Chain A
């Protein structure tokens, strides 16, 4: 009986979850969604040097992906308001689970694993109240929905796991309703924040910027060495205004907002699409597809270089040093704090984010 039960458990686990690790499938360095030349969409695995490794079709336009910390498994999110989140076995290309947000909720496009990879956390909108939620899904139970808690604000977008399973959540502050598509319903009153939540949902720290910056929607996150978190913003005020788009924060301290001169500020058109630290942790970069620029800063928030590339958006840490970047024209790029060079070009349109596989 005992043996039989164990056998069943093992068989069930094998049927529901792949056992191959990222290393087993060629150690992809990155995941990125793209539009294919024929107009369909797919999730791609890229090597550490941004060479294509695998391609898995998606039913619609993707946004970001969450990579399991060890197993070759990833969750691909639709762009908001998210109709789907798909758990993909990256070894076989099979979709092994289709996650559906509970009634009255939708996904915002990002997720993160905690509990050693057993719990997937997803950013969600509780549609009626407009409050942000973090959904919890148990991988060992076949991605069963096992709970949720408040995100600490409205419009939670990016979410990161930090040390000790603390979650950093970018509450963008913008209320949306699926009945109004992507319309922003509360720009006058929006109050974005960066929330730190424990794994059981307790709000352990919250950062809000000065009232005059309440139009700076905190959207995307990157974690660097010694507990520094970088947050990228999207300005909801007049796009012709010079607005801060990058902040650096350490728990218990005030945020440092990146400073740039007027021309460099306006060139980004009030929009940062992605943020990442470089391989050394000494530099942090934001991309602006609208401005066609990548700005690289040091840890004190000082601008050290600007690279120009149309539709630049996805950016991630290159563990060999520097950054890797993708753009909507199909280019992949290697960047340092001083220069940029192309590492590849395809006829794909790379989507917003380049996600590093840990």
Chain B
């Protein structure tokens, strides 16, 4: 009973003044959307000043870090108008980012000159992953100020900044209120108070599932056929970093969502974050037995968080995973 003393201690801490959707909005969502808006704005300003790859890798990474703080909030403003895919088009099973970026360059597509027009470009040609190609692919990243790619990078950065500002504004001016007035007359987004809680709870579980099944599961492939080339953002060396930052954000969501102490969930997050210190940064060694075991151990720890959340947080909040979405027919 290693957990017993922790539990006893936690039980003595008084409940936070805020809890549930209101606390999630104030302490998790709005700081996250503001940070993403600021980071993408900084990226666009940097691109305006110097569009070369060497100058943009740092602000691009900062923008990606900020995205991981909110990317799991797959409802409301982030999911409107295909925004989430326009920011982060991954997994990309058909190599559409590469094809779309190559076609934009080959055609010297004038959409890059007009933000309105560029916003209509396929989601595979926009966002963090299209930009990763231009900043990190050795065949593309060596461009000068007068190259089409310079304008393309600026267009992508501007588009990200517009999207980031739009998300932050919509959350601040509209969706925060909707979430906190769930069930009130006229609120056609959340028909009862439970629905706000349910939405945040679903985002937490879906985020954990995405990290386990996609961020870790895709490069793992099968034992016979590991797929290290399918790791997320491997060109920029971010694959493992994305897992860690996403878990950190999901931990914050879990802690702000729950009214009561969550010792099991906290312990599960701590164990997963510890396990995340061991794998290769881009899971390149999933082709070896030892490398694969390290990623597999991390995946199991992430799934254990989901179990803890479903046993500890779900029942306490009186919500569970979607009825039809979880098991359709």
Contact = CB atoms under 8 A, between A and B. Distances in A.
Contact of A266 (B80, B85, B329): B85
Given A310-B75, A342-B188, A352-B328, A262 B96 contact: yes
A337 interface: no
A109 interface: yes
A292 B75 contact: yes
A264 B325 contact: no
Interface in A248-301: 261-264, 266-267, 271, 273, 289-290, 292
A62 B94 CA distance: 37
Contact of B322 (A261, A267, A311): A311
Given A262-B96, A263-B82, A273 B195 contact: no
Interface SS of B by simple majority: loop
Interface residues of B, number: 29
Contact of A263 (B85, B199, B325): B85
B323 A35 contact: yes
A311 B82 contact: no
A273 B96 CA distance: 27
A260 B96 CA distance: 16
A240 B213 CA distance: 12
Nearest to B85: A263
Interface residues of A, number: 39
B325 A262 contact: no
A99 B181 CA distance: 47
Interface in B47-92: 75, 79-80, 82, 85-86, 91-92
B160 to A, nearest CB: 15
A267 B191 contact: no
A105 interface: no
Nearest to A348: B323
A351 B94 CA distance: 34
A294 to B, nearest CB: 13
Nearest to A353: B329
Given A241-B93, A263-B86, A310-B198, A289 B325 contact: yes
B273 to A, nearest CB: 26
Interface centre among A35, A330, A350 (most CB of B within 10 A): A330
Interface string B318-329: 000011110011
A314 B243 CA distance: 35
Contacts of A273: 324, 328-329
Contacts of B86: 263
A313 B122 contact: no
A340 B191 CA distance: 13
B323 A308 contact: no
Interface string A62-89: 0100000000000000011000000000
Contact of A63 (B80, B202, B214, B329): B329
Contacts of B324: 273, 289, 311, 313, 327-328, 349-352
Contacts of B329: 63, 79-80, 109, 157, 219, 273, 352
Contact of A349 (B91, B93, B96, B323): B323
A125 to B, nearest CB: 14
26 contacts: A80-B329, A109-B329, A238-B93, A240-B93, A240-B214, A261-B122, A262-B123, A263-B86, A266-B85, A271-B328, A273-B324, A273-B329, A289-B328, A308-B79, A308-B80, A310-B198, A310-B202, A310-B325, A329-B191, A329-B192, A329-B198, A329-B323, A342-B188, A351-B323, A352-B324, A352-B328
Q: Which 4 A-B pairs have the closest CB atoms?
A: A263-B82, A328-B323, A289-B324, A349-B323
Given A63-B329, A310-B199, 16 more contacts: A238-B93, A240-B91, A262-B122, A267-B79, A273-B324, A289-B322, A290-B328, A292-B75, A310-B195, A328-B325, A329-B191, A329-B322, A330-B191, A342-B191, A351-B324, A352-B328
